[in-house]
Structure 1
Amino acid sequence: MLNERQTAIFKTIVEEFIRTAEPVGSKTLMNMLDFTCSSATIRNEMAALEDMGLLEKTHTSSGRVPSSKGYRYYVENLMEKQLDESVKNSLQTVFKEKHYTLDEVVKKSCDILSQMTSLTSLVLGPDSRSQTLQHIQLFPISDRTAVAVFITDHGHTENKTFQFDESVSLNDIQTCCNLLNDKLSGTPINHVLEKMDEIKPLMAACVKRHEVLFEAFVNAFVRFASDNVYCSGQSNMLYQPEFADIEKLKGLMKMLEDSSLWRQLADHEGDLAIRIGEDNEVLQSNNVSVVASKFHIHDGEEGQLMIVGPTRMHYNQVVALMEYMSRVIEEMYREES
């Protein structure tokens, strides 16, 4: 699509704009290109790149900035992924310092991504709503404490800790678990709550303090069936020039709170997806890009890491970091399984 000179000019404009957030003009390019070219020739090539839809003019400068189409061309044809060995070593060290649970690994990965990129990161855990409840198991911890573990057919779990006084006994909780196992085993997670109403009279017939226990189990199922989305580094967007406009920032914060939107963005083929500005109808914004990387767990389950930021993000670094982090999570899951 582009000749050698156009490619060099376009790549330089994209990477300089990513670095400075300032439109790039012909005089700046003359000092940056590794070949001799007149200002007039550069301006002609910039005009040609603009006609192709890869560059845009701004209202405040004679320079050019990449368009959404331009960023797409860059990531698909020109981007060179970069991840220093020191970064890899740092990540390996972080996870080897302590024995983390799998949930902690995923959330810590999310926190690290937001810190290393100075952008916002999200993690979507495996979606338990498509699974069925297989079993509830009760583990006594002490005379006044027990943990109920809810297990799906895919091996996904949710824990509920019960701390009870003399009016609620361990025997009462075990009776409730047995009843729930009998009536709910094989039920899709997203249908469990509606079936709980049918079970309430049965629970009342065999347990004195059934209201307390019923509410406790319902709360556990609500958490189990909810979207497993964790977000880190929202405040990083305050320091991005693109979101200095308060209305744009409000729009972004509203997006971050919409878990259904991130589930839509998670629906893509392949392990990596890059959604750029207005070329993606789900985002409905020409200021935001999302890089998503899948991590695979046992029995075909998968989660996703996402980086959210301005279209002017360091794609080469972000993509390399995301792919590496996904592999780290997969290795941790293999060690735990």
Structure 2
Amino acid sequence: MLAVTQGEPAGIGPDIILSSWLGRREQSLPEFLVVGDADCLEQRAHLLGLSVPVAVVRSASEAMACFDEALPVFETENRVTSGIPGQPDEADAACVIEAIEIAVALEERGEVTAVVTAPIQKSSLYSAGFHHPGHTEFLGALGTKRTGQPCEPVMMLAGPDLRTVPVTVHNALSEVPSLLTQERLETVARIVAQDLSERFGLARPRLACAGLNPHAGEARSMGHEDEDIITPVVERLQKDGLDIRGPLPADTMFHAAARKTYDAALAMYHDQALIPVKTLAFDSTVNVTLGLPFVRTSPDHGTALDIAGSGHANPESFQEALKLAHQLSSAGSE
């Protein structure tokens, strides 16, 4: 049983959750419960014309017992104010945040095996005083609270033919050179290698590091970061036994033949990682958070406020996130 957070009530989270429950048998989806507001989901089902019975539950065992007949919802104390599609309300921030906390707590208690999160509207959360850059960082804070040890969450985008990891994430491009340190790159590379081995079952993961600058700096003629930051880390990790190479020119890393030579590409900034993976498989790519004491996946798209409630939301990425969460949590329990 997986825990799914409802996400932004005004976005497509409710749409893709409802349609996925309807397609649970056809798509061979694992069982899941939703943490959120049952009334909001019922209202969205009515708007979309979907026949989805909703059952309020207070435990994963109750959810498992009713999943075949109804969508189980573990309700938050904070409720959705309106849930009008396309119109986010910062008053709903407490419900969104509480849902994430409850889902993680359910996993910690062993009631669910993994957490799958629907997209959140960060601007609404910021207005309500949310102090984390995004979902990933908030989950990292929850992981740190659980273990008592600093938890370094790492975003990985996993598609059918490519996995990419941005070393720096939600930062302005002008800030990347100062944020790209040897310490940061080494930390990310070790976490990726460890999780690919322990959760994805790759005995010796092959990592490829993209260069920061065009042509990976071309012997410092286009920047010094590739030789001063990336090269020393790669050499150090190679000495420690990791299968890693780089820096490689990013413009030649993502064609079909190149992709066969590595299991994950480390990109130095957000778009360098997300553009190739989304171009190859926009609808089926999954966001996986590595470095956490629990499995977390999410669809690789945002709240799509413009199509929420229209019936046009594609649930494929969410369904792939469900399948991958089940796969990773099952592998971790073996």
More helix by share: 1
Higher-Rg structure is: 1
TM-score range, shorter chain: under 0.3
Instruction: Tell me the TM-score normalised to structure 2 length.
Output: 0.23
Which structure has more relative contact order (CA 8 Å, sep 6+)? It is 2
